[in-house]
Amino acid sequence: MAAIKKAIIIGGGPAGLAAAIRLKTQNAVDVTVYEIRSELTTLGGAVNIVPNGLRLLDRLGLLDELKALASSAQGLQLHSLRGSVLVDVDLGKWSRDKIGYGFMRVLRTDLVQLFMRHTKKHDIPVHFGKKMMSITETDTEVSVAFSDGTTDTADLVLGCDGIHSAVRTLHVNPAAVPEYSGIANMFTILPTSRLSEKNCTIAPALHATLTHTGMFGVMPCTASGDQLYWFYSREVQVPEGGNKEGWQVFGDKEIQSFKDNLLELVNEAQSDWADQLGEIIQKTDTIKFYPIYKMPAMGTWGTARCLLLGDAAHAMPPHAGQGTSMALEDVFLLSRLLEGTEHSVTEVIKEYEVVRRPRVEAIATTSVENGQMRKNTSPWALAMKENAIGFGFWMYKMTGLQSLGVGMSQKEHIYDVMDEPIWSKRSM
């Protein structure tokens, strides 16, 4: 067996908590999680979990509880502001038929709390308010020092601390820095109780609407449908300075202009769908602005005894809906490589990178390509795009391509990381 008896996990989000649960229950590794925040975060909107991720959550023993929390948002409806439905497709049908899993959308806070309940169930310690300051490796162990003067030592450190990872910037790969994608999101969670009886019901699907300055999306994100997640995703230039403060000032102005401009568009459209969107926007008090960054292709994700997982290694735009599922795949591949092997920790980390990189790069490319739909265009070009999309999806369904799993990343949704060839089998 690889000499891993103890692991330190930096980051108490979905990636870190999933890694802790899997390594403890499947690999009998003694794990401890350290989180920089002083308590469970309430940040974030809603998380999309696609079939390949749901299968892994089922293997973790979390799926039944997730079903009680999440919306089973299987469909995609693309609306025109003028009221017509350009696309109406069940995204989850093919994967449900093939592997028994569809799609879900859940509040990020609900998902993290679900993971936390299971860390407690398995007696996994999670320490809050722990800021990592340095990592020191030797041939036999790795030590982590925290700002409060404490240290911990283990056989392996996992950096699951997100796109701004301290494990990456302080130790694994300081030269790798996030890049702005050119797209920014505005989003919020809105209780349906705030809407009129006419507009409070939204079917469990992603309802997308293109405008000439971006894409508006709205969907339920709870099992009962009592909470809506909505976002507006658009092309945004980097503000002067490009720092956190500059983005904050810019974001405040962008939010107000967005509400004014979009309300003007929906008022001009004069359709039931536009009226529903208008009320959703008007009844929203708080909107968060989030410029979307991504990680470039990195030279390495690990050292001899440290490995980056999830967004710390390969953060990508959310436009493929695979963020959480990719982190889960990371966790399960690492767990698999640690089973029944005489390879060293260093060899496990090297093999992990070789096996994992092609899948990560393919999904990252898809996410960037899907972001092109958010780019600015003219009203005339928008009308042409809507017509082309509507015709394209009609042909897609009429030719039976959907039932064959062609397009819409359907085959990516049934991918199973447990089927990846590893070690010598990869070259056969």
Domains in the chain (CATH in brackets) are 6-43+106-178+294-372 (3.50.50.60)
Banded model confidence at residue 155, pLDDT cuts 50, 70, 90: very high
Structure confidence at residue 241 (pLDDT):
66
**Residue whose pair of structure tokens reads 């819409």 in the numeric block:** 408
Distance in angstroms (rounded) separating the CA atoms of residues 255 and 399? 42
374-392: per-residue pLDDT in tens? 666 666 666 777 766 766 6
Q: Enumerate helices (H) and strands (E) in the chain, giving the number of each.
A: 13, 17
Structure confidence at residue 254 (pLDDT):
77
Higher pLDDT, 278 or 121: 121
Higher pLDDT, 217 or 397: 217
Residue 234 DSSP SS3: strand
Q: Which DSSP string do the residues of 266-331 spell out, in sequence order?
A: HHHH-SHHHHHHHHHHHT----EEEEEEEPPPPS-SB-SSEEE-THHHH---GGGS-HHHHHHHHH
Q: What is the mean pLDDT of residues 244-258?
A: 74
Against a cut of 0.85, is the pTM above it? yes
Structure confidence at residue 210 (pLDDT):
84
Worst-scoring range by mean pLDDT, 53-62, 241-250, 358-367?
Answer: 241-250
Among 224-238, 250-264, 344-358, 408-422, which range has the highest average pLDDT? 344-358
Distance in angstroms (rounded) separating the CA atoms of residues 338 and 336? 5
